[in-house]
Amino acid sequence: MVNVKRKQRKAFVSTEQCVACGCCVKVCPLHAISVPKGITAVVDITKCVGCGKCAKECPASVIEIQEVQP
Ligand code: SF4
Ligand code: SF4
């Protein structure tokens, strides 16, 4: 049997380790990640498509792309 439901991928930030540099914000093609009040990066998972650009760009390597159930 083929599983017709495709798993979705989303970005997750380890907020304790985020240095709020904003690099991820600049590269996200969907504007799904922001750093509200300059505190820590926050992902809008309704917009995120899990492309991984932010994770690649993060100098602190605190963004992980994880599979989630749709
Ligand atoms: S994984 Fe892609 S879409 Fe999601 S927040 Fe990162 S750059 Fe944006
Ligand atoms: S690039 Fe990494 S360290 Fe910088 S704001 Fe984004 S998640 Fe935080």
Residues in a beta bridge with 10: 66
**pTM confidence score:** 0.91
Q: Is the dihedral of CA 47, 53, 55, 58 positive or negative?
A: negative
Tell me which ligand sits closest to the C-alpha of residue 41: 2
Domain segments of the chain as ranges = 18-68
Q: pLDDT (tens digit, 9 = 90+) per residue, 56-68?
A: 999 999 999 999 9
Looking only at the bridges linking them, the beta strands covering 63-68 and 42-43 are: unpaired
Beta-carbon count within 10 A of 33 CB? 24
Q: List ligand 1's pocket residues with C-beta within 6 A.
A: 11, 27-28, 30, 32-33, 43, 48-54
Give the model's pLDDT for residue 26: 98
The class of domain 18-68 in CATH terms is alpha beta
The closest residue, in CA terms, to atom 4 on ligand 2 is 21
Q: pLDDT (tens digit, 9 = 90+) per residue, 1-48?
A: 565 677 899 999 999 999 999 999 999 999 999 999 999 999 999 999
Give the model's pLDDT for residue 55: 98
